[in-house]
A and B are shown apart, each in its own frame.
Chain A
């Protein structure tokens, strides 16, 4: 019996000890940055540059803008939010969950991408028999999914390809469907196909910007219930600085000069 209690005690002790350690990591110079999935590669690059200059560790949490928005509304402990649109950050601002008004730090661009060697991406090909599945991000929660849908409507393809569409929960999952070859083609962000990791993979074409509403990307500092970390402000400034903009441009985003 004594052994049993000793065991329980040890287990409890270990749990407390371990959770203590995890909490300890989240101090002043650790940042949690929630980002829209399309920003994944670009922000990794921005973060690398930023971390080199400052003694700050950045934890990046990718997801669809809508999902991150919902999580932030329910009190997710993120310091910054980089969304693929302005609506979500604006809504958070109106609810008083942000430090200031969100600002546009970049404009995204939509591309049609294929991982298949024998396929030449084009809008027309979407209706052909050689394409069985078209991957896009869920238009209800992902701005790039919305843009993809607008594009299909713009070219009058919506009806023709209705049964071919498969939805990723974010651009990242759409990428995964395209990359694994499960879907022949799909819509994604220019920043994905321009990233060093994906540059050599497959073929893509840029979608005419007339076909969809612009994709302004908004950044905002979030209320965390504690005073804003100086590191969060530093990162925010870095993002809008020449160095930040340079990286974003390399990934195909347009920025205000």
Chain B
């Protein structure tokens, strides 16, 4: 495309294109521009046909970026359109224009319209407020719209359309800002969820391969197992699974799906294994499922916010009572107007939603997705944080450090059989085994029958007619009654110090052990220390792993309270116990075995690399795996609480003073209205300050 440079500094250039940019091209164009690796941000100004591009400041970058811009043509834009299906997402780029229109219209009427015409307009506009007030009264609620309409009405009755139109203008402004905050926070959520990559297991002949879910085509066959997300819409060919459809239907209990049933993108497999024929590709379905999720979560307003909104509504009758008493005592309509002119709700609602928006967008920028503003409050109030170990405190990608074979079993044979089983199970440890086998170039064919998955214990199957089990010591030795000889035990103790150990048994005999190294994440210890400094009294680690490796990780991370050999029920019960003891609990986890505990906790936080089911039940999702994000989350949450408190006190104090002054006659209703409304806008602007 042809363009001319309008403004330029190193790292940023604004270009002007030939003409205006149609509404439908805005998002696509900015996506195409950002697609270049050096480009960090693009902003499109559709009306004036201009684009601002920020790029990485490295030698030669300017020329490359300009060449990239020049290469963009209508074909590229058309090619990018299908991937950019965000047309469903609410639009937010026009806030400034909406506000400019409100302000421009207001002053146009005030300065240039004849007073009569202006008054006529005011009356006409007043209808919409009356309509809202009536609908509130019809529901037998003496709520804020009634107060608004009465306050404006009193100004009109006093033949003061100027004040009336001023009040209406500020109320409109507030409504625009509120709509915008809502749309904006929903959008950020949608975009951050769209960015999370998903893979699926495609079945080709007798083999399975992991492919990005966006590569799936209609009529592909995929297999979904415990903990997997359903990435597409499809029909079950065989198998049975319990499917969690809460994100789509709001139904909390999983439903059974078997041959011939349909499954839908955005749901997740609670338990079981199904083979699914793809009916609609991921591109078509992903956005829909995310929008459904976001629509549900955006209803979760913060409790404090709810409480204050209710309080604001509850004050309204007293406002009227006060106005009535003032009217009876003073017989002075000006003083009645003063009592009606000040309401608390307007400012409370505006500062509330703007504060939350600021927190949400800051969170999204810093790498976590918060599904609803009430979770900030819970995080701020929490005194206990519970971590899962593997994948949360430790690296998401553990690796196989040692393999020992017993009897005639070679190390490769142990690894091959283990990988053959573990590839069916979405867990970091399982992935480590499969990866190690792949790196050792070990091919494994599917000789075993269906794999039974026993949560947090291990896997069991039949291989050439013999029972084969793999899993923790607890599972293999105690539940499956596999005997470990004294030499084997000594060897394991000597070789596997500090490692997590998987036991593999074949035909009732221990044939091998695999030592998994599970290093602590860099910065985990600092993050734990910071969390303590920010007021978490208890930092707890729960793991299904053995005591030795739990002790090692806990010591390295600076955690003194930990529980090893935990089952999912155990984790859930532990969190439940904490809550019953009066603690407010944040639970951080990533796996299938964490999901009961995640949903039990006051706030569940899922790691980015976690399974779909964990992300599904969690209230907050980290988009990268750095634990420092939790510290930031706590800071933002506490900042939001503080901001709620200060703005609440300021609003109550300031407006009560106005009310008193107005009734005492020290200031006119007009002054009081002006001060009230401008303080509201000022507080709203103050609420946009960043937190961290």
Do A and B form a real pair? no
Q: What is B's interface to A at a CB cutoff of 8 Å? A: none
